[in-house]
Amino acid sequence: MSALDLHAIRRVLDGGIPPTLCSVSDAGVPHVNLLSHVEYVDARHVALTFQFFNRSRQNILATGRASLMVEDPRSGTSLVLQLRYVRTETGGPVFERLRAKLAGIAAHTGMEHVFRLRGADIYEVMDIAAAQDGAALATLQPRCDLAAGARAVSARLAECGELALLPQVAMDGLRDDLAVHHAILWLLDEHRQSLCALASLGYPQQGIGAELAVAEAGLVGVAVREGVTLRIGHMARMYRYGRTLHQIACDQGLAEGQPIALPGLATPCSQVAVPLRARGRTVGALLVESESDQFFGYDDEDALAVLCAQLAQALVALQGAELESVAPPLEAARVAPRRGPPLHLRHFPRDGTVFIDGQYLIKGVAGAILWKIASDAHRHGRMGFTTRELRLAGSVLGLPDIQDNLSVRLLLLQRRLADWGGPLQIRRLRRGCYELVAERELELECMDRGG
Amino acid sequence: MPTLPTEWRLCLPLLPSLRLGSCDRDGTPRVCRALAADVLPDGRLLVLLAERAAPQVVAALRETAQVALLATSPRSNRTLHIKGHDARVDAAQPGHADLLARRRATLAQEIAEVDGFADAPFIEHWYGVAAHELVAVRFSIDGAWNQTPGPDAGQPVELEPGP
C-alpha cells in the first residue's frame, strides 16, 4: 500500500466525477470504461459493480489487474489506484450497499432500465498515487463537526434513564448536533415483518404508529433485512416506499377511516438507513434523509452507525428495566368526570388493529395492549396497570415474544395516542406503572374472527 | 489507413470528456485524463495530455504504443471507445493551443449544464497546463466501439478507408 490511505480518500469514491477503470487483455490491449461509483469496503479493499459480461470483465478475469482513476470534484485532483481482483459477491452487505447506490444513480441518470447489478467485485488496493504532482485533495467542508456532534448525542443518550424520553433525545440530538433535518425512527415487529414509526423529525405530521411491511419499506427495509447501513445520494425510485399505508389498509379490508400518513419526504435525494441492532438482533432502524443530492457521506454513515448501536442497546436495556421494576399495587384509580358520547373502540383480533370512533389508531402488539387495558377499564373500572401484569397477560394478548418488546410497544402506543391527541391517553405514573386516562365512557366492539 | 466514419468524426468534438488508457511492458494498466482529441487529416487520431498529470501513462505509451481512448459527453452520455497499437508521443505544437481551448470550452459548457455550476475549479486544474507540459499522442485507429450506455453499448463502429 502506498503512503496515501484508502480511508482518507474514500469521499472521492462516490462518483461526483465518474471513476474510470482501465483493464488490459492477455495480449496487452487496454480497455477503458466509466463506472457509476466505487464502494469503500475497508482500509484495503474496494468493490465495483459487475453489471455486464463485457470486455472489461473478460480482461479482469484473465489478468486479475486493473487501474482505477478517481477524481475529486472539488479540486480536480486525480488519484490512480492499482487493483487486484479478489472475488465476486452476489449477496450480503457489500452487494446490498452497491445495489442501493446503483439504484440511486440509475434513477438520477434515467438509466434504471440499463443498470442491473449481477455482483459486487471485490478488489484489493495495491497502490494509490496522486496523478498530478503537487496537487492536494481539497479540504472537505463537512456539514457539521460530526465527531463532536456524535459525542454530544452519545452523552445525552447515555444520561437518559427513561425509555419514554429516549426517542425524543435521539431526534433532538440528530437535529441540534448532527444537522439532520429529516429522520424517522422505526421499530421492527419481527413476527409481522413490519416497521412502525416510533418518532420522527422534520415532517408536517409526526406519523407515529404509521406502519410499513419491511418488504415495502424502501431503503430502510433493505437495511433491516440485511442488517447493514445503506446510503444513497440520488433519488432512487426502487427504494421509495412501495405503497402507501392507505393502500395496504384497503388491501386488508381495513379501510375504515383514515390511516396514519407515512412520514417522509416526497422527493428524497439523499438517504441513510441504519439498522438498530442489539444483542445480535435487529430491533428497528433509523432513516435520515434530505432533498439535496449527496447530502450524506461516509463520515455520516460512521457517526450514525455508532449512535444507532448505542440507541438500540439503550432501547433494549431500558425496556428491560421497565419490566423488571417491581411496581407497588395500584390504588383504585379515580374516574375522571366524563362528558360527551361514549368513545367507540373497535378491535380486530386477527392483527390487533384498533379503530377509535371509526378512525384507525394502531395495530399489532400496541393495538392488543390498548384493547386489553381498555377492556379492563370498561369491565372493572380499573384504570391503572403495570408492565408486569401486561407481561403476565402475554398469552391473553395472543402475540409471541411479547416480553421481548412489551415496554417499547407500550411506549409506541403512548406516543401514538399523544400524537392523535384524542380523549384517550396513557399517563406514566412511575417506572413500570401507568394509567389509562379516558375523558369519555368507553364502548367496546370486538370484531372476532367471524366478524 | 482506416478512420472514423463521418458521423463519428463530426461527433468527436462533442464528446469532450476524455480518458486515455495504456499498458506497461509488464502488463500493468495505466489510465489518465486526456484534454483534447481530434481526427487528423491522414485519418489518425490526435490526443493532447498534460505529461505532469500522467507520467506513467506517457511512459507506458512510449514502451508499448498500446492506446485506448474513451470520449464521452457528460450531457448526453454518448460515448466512443477507440483503440490503437502504434501510439507516438511528441511535444505539442503551438497550434494545438487552439484545439485545447475549444475542447475546454465545450467541456466547461457541458459541466455547467449538467451539474449546474459554471467555472468548475477542476476545469482550470486540468486545463491550466503550461505549453511545455503538453504532449501530443498520435495513433492509427485499429477499432472503435459505441459505448453509449444502453442496448447498443459495445457495438463496433464500422471504420472507413482513410484518405
* Chain B residues lying within 8 Å of A22, measured CB to CB: 19, 21, 29-31, 68
Q: Is B65 near chain A, with CB under 8 Å?
A: no
**Cross-chain CB nearest to B23 (options A21, A30, A109):** A30
Q: Whole-angstrom Cα distance, residue A428 to residue A436?
A: 9
Closest residue in A to B121 (Cα–Cα):
A75
Task: Give the tens place of pLDDT for each residue, A32-73.
Answer: 999 888 999 999 999 999 988 789 999 999 999 999 999 887
CB < 8 Å to B144, chain A: none
Q: What is the mean pLDDT of residues A363-380?
A: 90
**Confidence at residue A87, expressed as pLDDT on a 0 to 100 scale:** 97
Give me the amino acid identity at A371: W
Residue B146 CA to residue A390 CA, distance in Å, equals: 68
Percent of chain A with pLDDT over 90: 45
Q: Evaluate if residue A2 carries a pLDDT over 80.
A: no
Answer whether B146 touches A (CB < 8 Å): no
Query: Bigger pLDDT: A451 or B10?
Result: B10
Phi, psi of B2 (to 5 degrees): -65, 150
Strands (E), B86-126: 88-91
* Enclosing H/E stretch for A46: strand A45-50
Contact A352, A371 (CB under 8 A): yes
How far apart, in whole angstroms, are the C-alpha atoms of residue A7 and residue A43?
5
Nearest-angstrom CA–CA distance, A35 and A75: 20
**pLDDT tens profile B61-87:** 999 999 999 999 988 889 999 999 999
Size of interface A-B (CB pairs under 8 A): 120
Query: Under an 8 A CB cutoff, do A20 and B31 touch?
Result: yes
CB A213, CB A248: distance < 8 Å: yes
Answer whether residue B161 shows pLDDT above 80.
Answer: yes
Per-residue pLDDT, A136: 60
Task: Pick the closest to residue A365 from A333, A331, A413 (CA basis).
Answer: A413
Q: A157 in helix, strand or coil?
A: helix
What pTM was computed for the model? 0.76
CB-based contacts of A139, cutoff 8 Å, min separation 6? none
Instruction: State how far the Cα of A392 lies from the Cα of A52, in Å rounded to an integer.
Output: 57
CATH architecture, domain A343-446 = Orthogonal Bundle (1.10)
User: Residue B102 carries which side chain, given as an amino acid letter?
Assistant: R
pLDDT, mean of residues A128-133: 75
Residue ranges covered by each domain of chain B: 2-147
Say if the Cβ atoms of B125 and A66 lie within 8 Å.
Answer: no
Task: With H, G, I as helix, E, B as strand and everything else as coil, classify residue B38.
Answer: strand
Cβ-based neighbour number of residue B163 at 10 Å: 9
Residue B10 has pLDDT above 90, yes or no: yes
By the 8 A CB rule, do A406 and A386 touch?
no
Strands (E), B35-131: 36-39, 45-50, 67-72, 79-84, 88-91
- Round to whole Å and give the CA distance between A78 and B136: 20
pLDDT greater than 50 at residue A257 = no
Higher pLDDT, B7 or A352: B7
What pLDDT shows up at residue A399?
55
Residue B22 — very low, low, confident or very high, per pLDDT cuts 50/70/90? very high
User: Which residue type, as a one-letter code, is found at position A218?
Assistant: G
> Which strand (E) or helix (H) includes residue B33?
strand B29-34
Q: Please tell me if residue B109 touches chain A, with a CB cutoff of 8 Å.
A: no
Beta carbons of B122 and A133 less than 8 Å apart: no
Q: How confident is the model at residue A258 (pLDDT cuts 50, 70, 90)?
A: very low
Whether A43 contacts chain B with CB within 8 A: no
Residue A243 has what pLDDT? 39
Q: Note the pLDDT of residue A276.
A: 96
Under DSSP, the state recorded for B44 is: -
Q: Does B112 touch chain A (CB under 8 A)?
A: no
Q: Does the pLDDT at position A249 exceed 60?
A: no
**Mean pLDDT value across residues B103-118:** 85
Which is it for the CA torsion A315, A318, A323, A328, positive or negative? negative
The whole-number average pLDDT for the span A147-165 is 94
| Distance of residue A178 Cα from the nearest chain B Cα, in angstroms | 27
DSSP-derived letter for residue A60 is H
Per-position DSSP letters for A87-102, written without gaps between them: EEESSSHHHHHHHHHH
Q: Is B65 exposed, middle or buried (0-12, 13-18, 19+ CB in 10 A)?
A: middle
On whether the CB atoms of residues A237 and A193 are closer than 8 A, the answer is no
> For A4-18, A173-187, B125-139, which range has the lowest pLDDT when averaged over its residues?
A4-18
Contacts for A107 with CB less than 8 Å, ≥ 6 apart: A234, A235, A236, A237, A238
The beta strand positions in A173-252, using DSSP E, are: 182-189, 194-201, 211-213, 230-232
**Could you report the per-residue pLDDT of A70-84, keeping only the tens digit for each?**
988 777 888 999 999
- Give chain A positions within 8 Å (CB) of B49: none
Question: Which tops the pLDDT comparison, A295 or B17?
Answer: B17
State how far the Cα of A278 lies from the Cα of A265, in Å rounded to an integer.
28
CB contact under 8 A, B149 and A52: no
Select the residue of A24, A33, A63 nearest B147 (Cβ to Cβ): A33
Q: Do the beta carbons of residue A272 and residue A229 sit within 8 Å?
A: yes
Which residue type is seen at B31?
Answer: V
Q: Give the alpha-carbon dihedral of A28, B64, B145, A23, to 10 degrees.
A: 40
B21/A77 CB distance under 8 A: no
Q: Which of B21, B27, B120 lies closest to A65 in CB terms?
A: B27
Between A450 and A39, the higher pLDDT residue: A39
H or E stretch covering B96 = helix B96-115
CATH of A146-324, one of 3.30.565.10, 3.40.50.1370, 3.30.450.40, 3.30.300.130: 3.30.450.40
Identify the weakest region by mean pLDDT among A254-258, B86-90, B98-102. Answer: A254-258
Interacting residues of B7 by C-beta distance below 8 A, sequence separation 6+:
none
Q: Do A52 and B153 count as a contact with CB atoms less than 8 A apart?
A: yes
Fold of the CATH domain A7-130: Pnp Oxidase; Chain A (2.30.110)
Q: Does B61 or A440 have the greater pLDDT score?
A: B61
Query: Is the pLDDT higher at B42 or at A447?
Result: B42
3-state secondary structure of B36: strand
Mutate to test the interface with B, among A38, A67, A102, A133 (most CBs of B within 10 A): A67
Q: Mutation test of the interface with chain B: which of A12, A17, A21, A24, choosing the one with the most B Cβ atoms within 10 A?
A: A24
Q: Chain B closest CA to A114's CA: distance in Å?
A: 6
A416-426 pLDDT, tens digit each: 999 999 999 99
pLDDT of residue A242: 42
Nearest by CB to residue B27, choosing from A24, A131, A135, is A24
Query: Which residues does chain A have within 8 Å of residue B155's beta carbon, measured at their own beta carbons?
Result: none
Among A171-185, A340-354, A371-385, B139-153, top mean pLDDT goes to A171-185
pLDDT in tens, A273-300: 999 999 888 999 999 999 887 789 889 9
Average pLDDT for chain A: 84
The CATH topology of domain B2-147 is Pnp Oxidase; Chain A (2.30.110)
What is the separation of C-alpha A217 from the centre of its chain, rounded to a whole number of angstroms? Answer: 9
pLDDT at A322: 72
A263-272: pLDDT as tens digits: 888 878 889 9
